[in-house]
Structure 1
């Protein structure tokens, strides 16, 4: 008896490797994927402008990265004793306008340089709803708790979404001819818009993205939304807010992502990285015991072997931690011959 709807995910061609550079941009679900890939030692840059939800915000941010736009004081506004940018998440907000600008422009430069060399761009779209300032019609990516009456809310049409994404993709392929793009739709429910409105919003994103994937080469679709909504389809896979997928659901999506989007060597490396990460989190009953010293010795040697076998994987931080633990337990430096 089947308890899940079967889903067949066509593997990427080519598959992602640890030698690739991946830029991730979009909704909060992007950060779940990005954080996991980062922990698995992939070369990742995620959300240089902070969390973005709608296609216009994503496209405007990507254009700003390509142009290496540097923001000025006039691009900021003050609210609730902090300076903010309408084009950036509140993690860039700061009581000092100068410090807010410095963080924004440093991230812009990093995104420009990374995107120029990236092999993959993963775009996770969360909503078709766009918020614009009433005073000038400027789209905003974050309302920064400003009064609701300062904004208009617009549900983008499929045509508007396709036009915006199509133009941005054309520029991206000119900017970086080797770039490949993966689209996903966030399974996070935007219930504050209303259940029916959320479904209309998601449907427009899905239709627009599939139109582009079917039209253009080097575009792919990964069904994160379908994995949660249609395969798991149960509230036990959501957090208490009934909106955000929980840890189990996120891991389920990530396992499918790794299986269909990464190559065999990458998957082997991921498992080795997990073992070393678990070893780092291990807390011994007796740190000075011979058993613990042997554990540290074997783990350090394993990390060193992996770095020699895969020189593009960096275990410097882990090695420093284990060597520090070794010194504390033995009073001497580590040698692979010990």
Structure 2
């Protein structure tokens, strides 16, 4: 007897991945906790989080919009000004450090800088450079708008049942003047790049883990009942400033983020991981869910991910694995020199 003889079919590559139709692959996720139809759910993070929020709303879940659009805006205007994109108008949060930074500002642990970027007589928030594409009439107006978002974060986190956070990048630009982390490189979306002030930082495993753990702790001080569901964005890097080839830089970034997410689910209560990354990038799907640019996820891909999400929520939460006994009915096949290939002998048949 050995431990592999009692494992279910989902534990073996051939029966769980290689043999099924890719669209029929199932049971990638067993939720660690329930998310009820009426539980307020927050979404924040990288670009893929915007897909998750819309999909939850379309499926009748209680997606929490903490900063609803004012009346009179067209759909195009709402999207351009980041209304209804994420639960609060922080803009895209690519790194765990920026999530921790926003929560620290919202709950008064640190004070945000007051500087603004000016361009053609308009003022832009360095920490939300794309949220108001037309800018603000004054720096004071910009700071007031940011204050509205900080209040929305406080209210939403305090009331929410679950925060879904999508990890996106491990590269970011720091401001040497105050130590803050910027959401994008100055001089791209807005602002002016200063090589003496703006420095590239490539976050390590320990740094991402610390930032994400601190973000969870900050949120739970305000709401001890808050559960956290982590995902990793399947959108590859658009570009890397590390000097590496973008393909290897992307692998480094996503691997690190996936590892941090997995470790936190082991270390913290009521923190879970949903495999949206694997459902898009996994080998059996052969990039079928990517647009021709091999970066954007198609509507078919988003729907595929959300079907898995909703189906899993309808099942019981995680419990003991089923016990399957009995001897396998076939001999292991030759031709594979890897020692672990013999484990296929023990898969259920």
Residues 1:254 and 2:306 are matched in the alignment: yes
Q: Cα RMSD (Å) of the superposition?
A: 2.6
Instruction: Name the residue aligned to 1:58.
Output: 99
TM-score normalised by L of structure 1: 0.70
* Equivalences, count: 263
Please give the alpha-carbon distance, in whole angstroms, between the structure 2 residues aligned to 1:242 and 1:131.
25
Q: 1:225 aligned to 253, 257, 277, which one?
A: 277
Residues 1:118 and 2:160 are matched in the alignment: yes
Q: 1:21 aligned to 8, 24, 40, which one?
A: 40
1:191 offset after TM fit, Å? 3.8
Unaligned runs of 5+ in 2: 1-18, 66-85, 241-245, 317-349
Q: 1:179 aligned to 223, 226, 231, which one?
A: 226
Change (3 A) 1:2 1:39: closer
Contact 2:46/2:94 (8 A) holds in 1: yes
Please give the alpha-carbon distance, in whole angstroms, between the structure 2 residues aligned to 1:154 and 1:71.
20
Change (3 A) 1:50 1:191: closer
Contact 2:64/2:156 (8 A) holds in 1: no
Deviates more, 1:177-186 or 1:207-216: 207-216
Higher relative contact order (CA 8 A, sep 6+): 2
Instruction: Name the residue aligned to 1:155.
Output: 202
Instruction: Name the residue aligned to 2:15.
Output: none
1:263 offset after TM fit, Å? 7.0
Contact 1:26/1:47 (8 A) holds in 2: no
Instruction: Name the residue aligned to 1:166.
Output: 213
* Structure holding more helix per residue: 1
Change (3 A) 1:163 1:238: same
Q: SS of the residue aligned with 2:236? A: coil
Instruction: Name the residue aligned to 2:73.
Output: none
TM-score normalised by L of structure 2: 0.68
Unaligned runs of 5+ in 1: 265-338
Instruction: Name the residue aligned to 1:2.
Output: 20
1:77 offset after TM fit, Å? 2.2
Please give the alpha-carbon distance, in whole angstroms, between the structure 1 residues aligned to 2:97 and 2:110.
17
State how 1:181-220 maps to structure 2 within 5 Å.
181-193=228-240, 194-220=246-272
